Structure 1
Amino acid sequence: MWDEATNDDPAAEWSPVALRGGAASLKLPSGWRRLSRDDGGLAFQSPGPNPVDLLVSITTYRNPYGVKAEEAIQYLDRENVLPHGIAPSEDAEDDRRWIAYAVTQPPDRQIFVWKVADFQPPDTVRVVTVQLLVPETSAAAPDLEELIDRLGEEAARVEFHDPTAPVPVTPVTMRNVAHGENVRFRLPWDWQVEMEGELSVFFREEADTGTLRVAVHAFPHTAEGGEALAQMVLRQTAEQFADGPDGRVGKGSLEFLREGEVLARFSTEGEEDGEKLYFHLWLRGSAADGQTTLALFSLAMPRDRGGSDLERATLAMLETEIRNAALGPGAEEVEDDDEPDEEGTA
């Protein structure tokens, strides 16, 4: 990947590159070929018979609820794909936060990712993302480790500037939330959370907009052949849930997701404290990596809101976010580090 025939010192082959009208800049390999990219970012490819690809972008977020550096994960993991335990590192001198991780992308590629967030209170955050795409044919290159180390160093040193021209702004509407250590998903920023015994209760301050309760049950299955048995039991549990939990009468459905994961739904009518309600229930289950995790979601909506635009929008949002929820124990807590030595799942 390095053109050592022309320069024995790879460090000398890096030069500053500006992003989005000068909103940020960092050093990148100067001898790499520039490729086209439609989203306003930059793409480069290394020379040689087994190249790697480098993608660089900057995104400006505006959050009307205000920005806080301690909430960096909301901007560094917008899609809620990181394993549990990966926390942003921080710069002691300013409000900069960053994360670095590696993922495997089937069938034959690794991706090394660095993200750096720069906070501009009261409402703006800028995030630079650097991605190194390494196909299997390049994974054994003798200089790959050196390249990864250098990219991590340069990403940590990225410089943010006032852009010379207006830049696109992405509004922030969703944030990551969790119940305990075994389920993480996203909700709109204006949803509040309280604990009600063993339940997490999410709600808007506006009246009659629904209340979401979340509970999680998790237990190990470490015996030989335990995972196959656990997946069978999980399927049976999901089928029973879709038929009506606790014998309730209503409408249910069942969907099998990735191997060892299910999503069951059930809707019914009921009352709570004398109020007539619709209850929309979801069961997201996972039986993998030695643990079965059952996440139960229950949305209570006033019956007079049935069929309203609010109910349809809320149900569509929750269906998407519950489907994409991260389940299970996830990764262990990691040390603060700007090197991509942790593996995750994208």
Structure 2
Amino acid sequence: MVVGLFTDEHEMFRSSLRKMLDKEAYPYFEEWEQQRDIPRAFWRKLGEHGFLCPQVSEQHGGLQLDFGYSMILAEELERVGAGLASGIVLHSDIVVPYIEQFGTTEQKEKWLPKSVSGEWISAIAMTEPGAGSDLAGIRTTARREGDYYILNGEKTFITNGIHADYVVVVCKTDPQAKPAYRGISLIVVETGTPGFKRGKKLNKVGMHSADTGELIFEDAKVPASNLLGEEGKGFYYLMDKLQQERLLVAIEVQIEAEEMFRITKEYVTTRKAFDRTIADFQNTQFKLAEMATEIDIGRTYVNSLVSKHIAGESIVKEVSMAKWWISEMAKRVASDCLQLHGGYGYMEEYEIARRFRDIPVAAIYAGTTEIMKGIIAKEILK
């Protein structure tokens, strides 16, 4: 029986995942936040239970499931915390699809099975110290020399950057190309590659358990067989996959808004002031009504886009709308929820403080709010 987006099989997957997270994640997550790290053992447990990369073909170790399962994985990890969801969702449903779609048979056989099992962690390196949203402005270069590419450049803000076993690096194989984006290619760089080293692990305002770091390439010698797809097609590959990436961000921030609302509703109905609960005050009731309305609108829109995405529709404009509006809505919810907690909301022992810190970056990564609005305008004016 179909219940909304999901079948009974989807809900069984969710139930099984929740049981695993209840045992293996919730009891340890605050400790991981303090340690600023997610143990690799947890990745392997996800893989052992069949939760990583559910869309990958059975031939390469996956379950060959639809995007609904990826949505469930993102939602349930986000309920635990943004720091947990960040790197795992990026690996499972953002990086691995590049290997699936554009990789050769040999590349798939090499990288997919261990990605599904959780033995290997992946990353994608787009952002540079001098190039964020402007992908065409990247300066990392890859020069072909015989059977190798020689990579030079730096990347920053790379999710999974410190622990990744392989990284899909966005680079220029033709720096003279006009327009510049036609010179962009994707090359997979593995741990242990000569000339490839990690920079510092970045100290972020929030999402503390998420691994975010710098990558440095100094005459890194990468086998030419690690080119993903064709030379000069990298920008097109990125544009093809950004729809799913931004949809996943919208799903994650939607969950954040729902969780912050749930936490705050519980707080205001038990916390007392002036001989009555905080929820008895009209201002509190109005704030709850406003937040509940916006959250419901966000949920309805996200679900409709997931249905269209599963059906294979092009929803670049709509996903951009969802990404900017829901991430900004979640920021408003975070601020209102913290305010309703009063002074306690500013204390680290309360969950709302962590979620308040975690949420602002969602309006920046995978394309800023301003970039999203530009895409929407471009689509409207076509």
Instruction: Indicate whether the TM-score tops 0.5.
Output: no
TM-score (norm 2): 0.23
TM-score (norm 1): 0.25
Structure ranking higher on relative contact order (CA contacts 8 Å, 6+ apart): 1
Higher strand fraction (1 or 2): 1
